Amino acid sequence: MKKTFLFAMLLASAALTAKADSQDNDNIGTDAPEPAGFLTSALNSALEQAAPAVDAEEQMQYGRTETKWASAPKFGGYAIGSYKYSDQEGKHGGDGFNARLVRLYVDGTVLKDFKYRIQLEMNGDPATTKSAHLKDFFVAWSHWKELEVKVGQFKRCFTFENPYNPWEVGVGDYSQLTKKMAGFNDYCGGEATNTGGRDLGLQLQGDVLPIGQDKHRLIHYQIGVYNGQGINHADANGAKDFIGTLQLQPIKDLYVGVFGWKGDMKYSNILAHRNRYAISMKYEHNGWTARAEYAHQTGHKIGDYTYDSNTQTQSLNANASNGRADAWYVTVGVPCTPWLKVYAKYDAYRDTAKNSSLNSIYSICPNFQLHKNLMFQVQYNYVYDRNLSADKGHNELWGEVYFRF
């Protein structure tokens, strides 16, 4: 109770000092900070000057020799470094210094309506599938706001937090809900699941029914079909994952949505099912942030099964889980000055959808963005994990530096 009270007091203190003088960020929720680093700005300016000029009145034509109707590619890159301390017993002070990630990406358009992206990542985390790997590659046709068609490798359309890029999450890591339910370090297990919430597939999305004086769109929808195995992996069983969301925007920048996921993944001849739903809310306006999501999973983990190679059948282990899990979080971000925004977060995950498996994380995280290309975070976490046999409650202190180049 004392720690919960202290957390509430810190949040209230941040709110009392707030001033809403930050501006909206159009990139929120796109997993793509604008390519405006020092080096990439110079490169992009040179490419734009070298690109062939297009006469706006010239009729667009299709054909393999047509080159004028392609934009100059825009390059971007950013890096995140971290330091993590923990007083948890047996952790020897935490992870220490780490190169969290370095990303390079390129965006562009062809024939005005076709957008493309390629994104690469390198990191210093040996737990990831590969230290250097292809993160995104896709082409999207977006002639109408009501319908966009995307094909390639990209973020799954499950949860609001999943498509946020690390600059906009607000705290030093994604929630347990996003990591376990959207495919970062998936509940099902298997090495192919640690893929940043992405998969290979085809997705349709759009915004319909403009309302109000500002003509914002009331309804946003996404529906996708995916391999189900994560990034850079071919389908392993022929069946596909189906994911969809329907979101309402009753007032500008306030979204309420529901998400559904029906599918499975195969690893070492074992098939695990994903049957998931999420109920979510987000509000991002004038620098203020509020997000809350709940997600639920049914279907056993890879580790719950034993595979008999003689009969080619799988059966549940005697110590298998109950095949259920759920998670929820609440994030609030308060703009205090043009360079300071304070986030507070409550993050909960239950590996068996029972309180006996509850892992709770209380966080407060000031963001010091001194320049559009430079940001520092200092984060305090109080973790209470009922799954541990001893030292259930412990403290963590993180520091992270973000910079674009």
Cα gap 8→345, rounded to integer Å: 10
- Locate the domains of the chain by residue range: 2-52+68-404
Cα gap 165→168, rounded to integer Å: 6
Structure tokens at 347: 């993050």
Strand duo 254-267 + 270-285: pairing: antiparallel
Each residue of 175-210: pLDDT tens digit? 999 999 998 989 999 866 668 899 999 999 999 999
Given a cut of 90, is residue 149 above it in pLDDT?
yes
Query: How many helices (H) and strands (E) would you count in the chain?
Result: 4, 18
Nearest 10 degrees: Cα torsion 209, 332, 402, 38: 40
Residue of higher predicted confidence among 247 and 48: 247
The CATH classification of domain 2-52+68-404, taken from the options 1.10.10.60, 1.20.950.20, 2.40.160.10, 3.40.50.300:
2.40.160.10
Residue of higher predicted confidence among 25 and 389: 389
**Residue 253 backbone zone (phi > 0: left; psi -120 to 50: alpha; other: beta):** left
Cα gap 327→277, rounded to integer Å: 11
Cα gap 195→178, rounded to integer Å: 12
Q: Rounded mean pLDDT of 90-95? A: 91
Q: What pLDDT is recorded for position 12?
A: 41
Each residue of 42-67: pLDDT tens digit? 888 888 887 777 666 667 777 776 66
